[in-house]
Amino acid sequence: MSDWEAVIGLEVHAHLKTRTKMFCRCALEYGAGENTHTCPVCLAHPGALPVMNRCAIEFTIKLGLALECEIAERAIFARKNYFYPDLPKGYQISQYEAPLCGPGRLAIPVDGGEEVVRIGRAHLEEDAAKTVHAGGATGRSVGATASLVDFNRGGTPLLEIVTEPDIRSAEEALRFLRLLRQTIVELGISDAEMEKGTLRADVNVSVRERGEAGYRPRWEIKNMNSFTFIGRAIEAAVRRQIAAHEAGETVVQSTYDYEADTDVLTVHRSKEEADDYRYFPEPDLVPVEPPADLVDSLRAELPELPGARIRRIEPSVGFALANELVSTGNDRKAELLAAEGVEWRAAANVAMNRGDFLPENAPALAAILQANVTREALDRAFAAAAGERIDAADYLAQATVGDESALTPIVDAILAANPDQVATYRGGKEGVLGFFVGQVMRETGGKADPKVVNRLVREKLAP
């Protein structure tokens, strides 16, 4: 049995969150009634001319900068010719030889190192319209009674990010996709929601023996829209290809569909040669030449990216917690509290278990957290801090009483008033402890520190 490794490359598509479509002024609106956002340009009426969406170009450059890509001085839109009912022009406007963003990289932080995935290119194109297969049980064309086209999606600006085949496992592919998705979302350029179809991925998978140079024929699994299914589809393709190679069978370069309900890959079509889309420069659009000062100002606007934040927080809380905080989007909250003196791990815990709060409330919340107030006061403080400026003094009055000299007489009085329960406890039923603690809490209006009360009651009842 040989030692095999997977060779995986990804093509990720994200719908850009612009107000209007790529080449016309139709509004982008997810979930709008079918064919309510169309015009002569996106329906390809003769003589209608495209006009570039400047915002989409800026969004693409932003993503390119975040992925350390070279930004082209001259990018060219090209026609990609093919026929399909959801493509009224008979071609898609894309970028071919001169994409807006050239080679780059995304470094994924892992414990004790990083995994680097090289980006081959990122370019801008328009999405096709959406074909809906009606009347069948599965929503696929097989068994459908009619196929309808919704042109609302046609012309949506679509960012395509193509990686080099640097990924070696399903888990690594998912780590890459999650970090890329979070980067896209934080840049504010796309909602990148797989379940809504605003983020999709094509996965290229082949295998080779460890140490082998070059690549074997690959399978392309198209249009994946769930992280779980992407992981499973990669594993299924790797399993089947290894089995085929070991049995001496030929693996043919093909595109595949992944059937999630049965966990099976079915051949969509085999292609021994690349498709010929007869690309040529789009004659109705001028080349895109982003001015250097525009690129510089977009670079200056970039926020601190998730990978960098994980690395920065890691020394305070360790890799696992830093990774969890950043990937759940809770790191900024934790950092605000830590900056006000809350111990880092406690701040991380609060950030992950409490709701959002206004940043200007961080000093007040830090003071309240450090003052050991009652749970009820803490709940009230966080509930209020989400929507209005709070004053720590309003909550600090409810500090817990942890002072033994104040609590001891109360504990003594409660034990004296309940001789039967004391006897029960001493007889071995330690569950009665909760009764005493509850009584003390009631006597102090909930302000007693339960940990201290617990200890005092135990000490008093000890034989």
The residues that touch Zn ion, with contacts defined as CB under 5 A, are 24, 26, 39, 41-42
CA distance 251 to 208: 12
CB 21 within 8 Å of CB 157: yes
Nearer to Zn ion, 24 or 310 (CB): 24
Could you tell me the smallest distance in angstroms from the CB atom of residue 21 to Zn ion?
Answer: 5
Q: Name the phi and psi angles at 347, rounded to 5.
A: -60, -40
Nearer to Zn ion, 44 or 144 (CB): 44
Nearer to Zn ion, 120 or 155 (CB): 155
Nearer to Zn ion, 27 or 292 (CB): 27
Give first-to-last CA distance, the chain, whole Å: 68
Nearer to Zn ion, 35 or 424 (CB): 35
Nearer to Zn ion, 35 or 131 (CB): 35
Question: Which DSSP category does 44 fall into?
Answer: T
Helices (H), 2-105: 54-66
| DSSP letters spanning 115-169 | EEEEEEEEEEEE---EEEEESSSSSSSTT-SEEEEETTSTT-EEEEEEE-S-B-S
Could you tell me the smallest distance in angstroms from the CB atom of residue 127 to Zn ion?
Answer: 12
Q: Which residues pair with 202 in a beta bridge?
A: 11
Nearer to Zn ion, 30 or 319 (CB): 30
Helix crossing, 292-301 with 54-66: angle to 10°? 60
* DSSP 3-state of 356: coil
Nearer to Zn ion, 20 or 372 (CB): 20
Contacts with 363 (C-beta within 8 Å, 6 or more apart), sequence order: 340, 392
Could you tell me the smallest distance in angstroms from the CB atom of residue 22 to Zn ion?
Answer: 9
CB 56 within 8 Å of CB 290: no
Could you tell me the smallest distance in angstroms from the CB atom of residue 49 to Zn ion?
Answer: 12
Helix (H), strand (E) at residue 433: helix 433-443
Could you tell me the smallest distance in angstroms from the CB atom of residue 102 to Zn ion?
Answer: 30
Nearer to Zn ion, 15 or 309 (CB): 15
Nearer to Zn ion, 42 or 179 (CB): 42
Q: Token pair for residue 313?
A: 């927080």
CB 228 within 8 Å of CB 262: no
Could you tell me the smallest distance in angstroms from the CB atom of residue 281 to Zn ion?
Answer: 22
Could you tell me the smallest distance in angstroms from the CB atom of residue 36 to Zn ion?
Answer: 11
Could you tell me the smallest distance in angstroms from the CB atom of residue 42 to Zn ion?
Answer: 3
Contacts with 274 (C-beta within 8 Å, 6 or more apart), sequence order: none
Contacts with 344 (C-beta within 8 Å, 6 or more apart), sequence order: 316, 317, 334, 338
CA distance 22 to 34: 19
Nearer to Zn ion, 45 or 389 (CB): 45
Could you tell me the smallest distance in angstroms from the CB atom of residue 38 to Zn ion?
Answer: 6
CA distance 393 to 20: 49
What is the β-pairing status of strands 254-259 and 264-270?
Answer: antiparallel
Could you tell me the smallest distance in angstroms from the CB atom of residue 40 to Zn ion?
Answer: 7
Closest CA relative to residue 100, chosen from 66, 62, 69, 71: 71
Could you tell me the smallest distance in angstroms from the CB atom of residue 122 to Zn ion?
Answer: 24
